[in-house]
Amino acid sequence: MKKVLGYIVAALLLVMPVVTFAAEKIDLANYKTMNLKETLDQEGIKMTATDYVETDDQITIYMFRGNGCGYCKAFLTYLESITKEYGKYFKLVSFEVWNDADNAELLGAIGSFLGQEASGVPYIVIGDQVFPGYAESYNTGIENAIKTLYDTEKSKRYDVFEAYNEKLVEDEKAARSQAAKPIIWNCIFVAIATIVVVCKLNADKKEVLAAVKAQAKREPREEKETSKKRK
């Protein structure tokens, strides 16, 4: 009986699907980033807004860039020029992708998440708005995006990395739920099979016991009849 149950458990383990989740949440602490001042310094742009400070209240502009990229430098020059007026609204987190494979991979992941092929820099994300490349014609849109996101209630501000991580969690839950369905049916099948096997074994056991009892009853009679014949 124990051996049969062991076979059933082994069969259940074999039919259960193996589900793995390779995607990991993005933790910006694992990437090399620069703030506004550091990014401007690397591009040789002087910061004129000496009173600029970063605060928790500011919105975040995410910028994927290449060190020495002309369009990237043009955007940063423009951003520095509006810092005196708009600096209280934003801070910058930049990712250099030309010399950093991890940052380059991150750019591809974020681009895919946003439904775009992020093949060039600069790639600028402000809230849920994306500015691929840079041209002066973007300036008004960038300023509006900064102000609109800042004016949004802080707890409701869209952050692309938070949204990306939330999507991973939702996808994982959905995948686990989908994977659980065949497991449940497999368990039901094995449970039914176990009941059938146990019932069959019990029935066979009863038949054997009945046969043994019948045989035990016949043997004394046969012995008596044999004894009478001898006499």
Per-chain mean pLDDT for the chain:
84
In this predicted structure, the answer to whether residue 73 has a pLDDT above a threshold of 90 is yes
Both structure tokens of 26? 């993005």
Say what the pLDDT of residue 193 is: 63
CA-to-CA distance for 193 and 114, rounded, in angstroms? Answer: 48
Per DSSP, the three-state class of 10 is helix
CA distances from 93 to 5, 64, 101, 131, 163 (A): 59, 9, 17, 15, 17
CA-to-CA distance for 12 and 189, rounded, in angstroms? Answer: 9
The 10s digit of each residue's pLDDT in 43-54 is: 999 999 999 999
CA-to-CA distance for 147 and 135, rounded, in angstroms? Answer: 19
CB contact at 8 A, 59 and 149: yes
Give the CA count within 13 Å in the CB-facing half-sphere of 4: 13
In this predicted structure, the answer to whether residue 77 has a pLDDT above a threshold of 60 is yes
Scan for tokens 């938070």, then name that residue: 162
Q: Per this entry, what is the length of the chain?
A: 231
Task: Please tell me the pTM assigned to this model.
Answer: 0.69
Looking at per-residue confidence, does 19 or 29 come out higher?
29
CB contact at 8 A, 73 and 41: no
Looking at per-residue confidence, does 138 or 20 come out higher?
138
In this predicted structure, the answer to whether residue 83 has a pLDDT above a threshold of 80 is yes
Say what the pLDDT of residue 81 is: 97
pLDDT band at 171 (very low <50, low <70, confident <90, very high): confident
For residue 193, which amino acid is it?
A
Both structure tokens of 58? 């500011």
In this predicted structure, the answer to whether residue 22 has a pLDDT above a threshold of 60 is no
Say what the pLDDT of residue 21 is: 52
